[in-house]
Amino acid sequence: MIKDLVCDHDNTLLEAMHIINENGMGICFVVDELNFLKGVVTDGDIRRALLNDARLDEEIKNILSEGFVYGNIDDHYDNLISKITHGIDIIPLVDSNFKVVDFFEYKQNIHFPVAIPNLNGNEFKYLTDAFLSSWISSSGKYIDKFESEFSSYSGCSYGVSVSNGTVALHLAMMSLGIGEGDEVIVPNLTFAATINAVLHANAIPVIVDVERDSWCIDPVEIEKAITKKTKALIPVHLYGQPCDMDRIMSIANRYNLKVIEDCAEAHGATYKNKKVGSFGDVGCFSFYGNKIITTGEGGMCVTNNLELDKSMRVMRDHGMNIHKKYWHDVAGYNYRMTNLQAAIGVAQLERIDVIHENRQKYEQLYKGLLSNMGYTFQKDLQDRCRVTWLVCLLLDENTDREEYINRLKEKGIDARPFFYLLSDMDIYKDYCHKDTPIARKISTIGLNLPTYESLKSITKIDNILSDVKR
């Protein structure tokens, strides 16, 4: 680990920033060619230097401060603790020759948030490239590359990048001509963006129940809810679990309904070896900071329909005619992603298979840690290959979920309850016309645990979970 914290004194500020970004600890130790410690630099030091007109290609040794803090490898623990302050929690350790051999880190408060993005691939490299190219708005090579590569990854011919996942849903509906008086069927168990996008399109949401095993929208309930006004369905691949797309598409074809897949939590999930997002008219993804891959904020509409692709591009770009600049054929929107965001997205997509593998490993570790608790983890179902967005489980009915969450939070683990039912909120309740008992039960006992690719302290979490069990 120490090698990840070491920076050569001839490195540039840009190179030092890359080292700091990769180690994720906000600091690097500057050494000369003989490994003698020359100083300590934090991300804040570099930021202040840049604000004081330093250049990215300036050598790091030029911004070093003489009064840096360090310890000796033979120092007593109490001596090292005495060097820790509010602003310093990591210090280099040197041997008798003043060569860096280790480091000391002190954390008084341990905190495991529910999600943290991992940016240890080419994110910083591509972001810097986009920045230095001066193409920082909604045009640039990374926009084209991200749209092409992500749509291909999702099994679709076209991809339209947008500013977030919510507007992806709205853009899809507007391009499909869904509007005032049209009914759109949605599940009761989902994030509010799903139903909000319907309302923003001036359409009428119709809330239905979910399946017991998948927690996704129930095709039986979809068919029961169809009326002469129904124009579309929004199956949500909840918590990375694919919906029953065969039955859903069969219903859609039989009643001539549009299908907009909400894939915000399911990048790469498959149904019968086919990627989610590629079944319906449009697949909508989110790249918010807590998603499987992220661009900070951002989203994507994917489709196999060329005319829909063209329509969504025009609507996304203010409704401007693609052949006649500043001539507007429709009242569109500014739903564009920036080249800077897309640069991060390209780097994230390069590593998506590894990200999935690491998240799945932590889910397996959680299962081992909680194997004797009687909890039910998200199921692996026939023909559906889910992905791990957040580790999801259902508590037994004798467990007080709120008390359990509070006990975990007291120990630093940010566990989250499942989404509230849409029908329980005053602004949506009038759109639910019958009871949804399965969604209610799942929502009441569901729990999300911290899940992210860089979750390295699973042993500490094990200790905390074991303590909370007691």
Q: What's the CATH code, domain 2-105?
A: 3.10.580.10
Distance CA 21, CA 47 (A): 13
pTM score, whole prediction:
0.80
Residues 316-366: pLDDT tens digits?
Answer: 999 999 899 999 999 999 999 999 999 999 999 999 999 999 999 889 988
What are the two backbone dihedrals, phi and then psi, of residue 140, each rounded to the nearest 5 degrees? 145, 165
Across the range 196-201, mean pLDDT stands at 98
Q: Please report, to the nearest 10 degrees, the dihedral formed by the alpha carbons of residues 165, 169, 174, 175 taken in order.
A: 90
Cβ pair 299, 314 in contact under 8 A:
no
What average pLDDT is seen over the chain? 92
pLDDT computed for residue 3 by the predictor: 83
pLDDT tens for 157-187 read 999 999 999 999 999 999 999 999 999 999 9
Average pLDDT value for residue range 29-50: 93
Assess whether pLDDT exceeds 90 at residue 77.
no
Banded model confidence at residue 456, pLDDT cuts 50, 70, 90: low
- Residue 335: closest CA among 60, 186, 464, 143: 143
At residue 225, the pLDDT reads 98
pLDDT tens, residue by residue, 274-308 = 999 999 999 999 999 999 999 999 999 999 999 99
CA–CA separation, 358 vs 427, rounded Å?
A: 39
The residue written with tokens 């280790």 in the block is 102
Q: What is the pLDDT of residue 267?
A: 98
pLDDT exceeds 60 at position 470:
no
- pLDDT-derived band at 81 (thresholds 50, 70, 90) equals confident
Contact 144, 135 (CB under 8 A): no
pLDDT for residue 26 = 87
pLDDT band at 413 (very low <50, low <70, confident <90, very high): confident
C-alpha Rg value of the chain to the nearest Å: 25
Under the banding of pLDDT at 50, 70 and 90, the label for residue 465 is: confident
Residue 445 neighbours by CB under 8 Å, 6+ apart: 394, 395, 396, 397, 399, 401
Percent of the chain's residues with pLDDT above 70: 95
| 83-89-94-95 Cα dihedral, nearest 10 degrees | 70
CB-based burial of residue 309 (10 Å sphere; 0-12 exposed, 13-18 middle, 19+ buried)? buried
**Could you give the count of Cα atoms lying within 13 Å of 337 in the half-sphere of its Cβ?**
38
Mean pLDDT across the stretch 209-221? 98
Delimit the domains of the chain by residue range.
Answer: 2-105, 123-350, 352-469
Q: How confident is the model at residue 410 (pLDDT cuts 50, 70, 90)?
A: confident
Chain segment 112-164, per-residue pLDDT in tens: 788 888 888 999 999 999 999 999 999 899 999 999 999 999 999 999 999 99
**Adjacency order of strands within the sheet including 90-94:** 71-72, 90-94, 100-105
Q: Does CATH place domain 123-350 in 3.40.640.10?
A: yes
**pLDDT band (50, 70, 90) for residue 368:** confident
pLDDT in tens, 224-235: 999 999 999 999
CATH superfamily of 352-469: Aspartate Aminotransferase, domain 1 (3.90.1150.10)
Q: Answer whether residue 255 shows pLDDT above 90.
A: yes
pLDDT tens by residue, 7-36: 999 999 999 999 998 887 889 999 999 999
- pLDDT at site 111: 72
In degrees, rounded to 5, the angle at the alpha carbon of residue 392 between the alpha carbons of residues 390 and 395 is 150
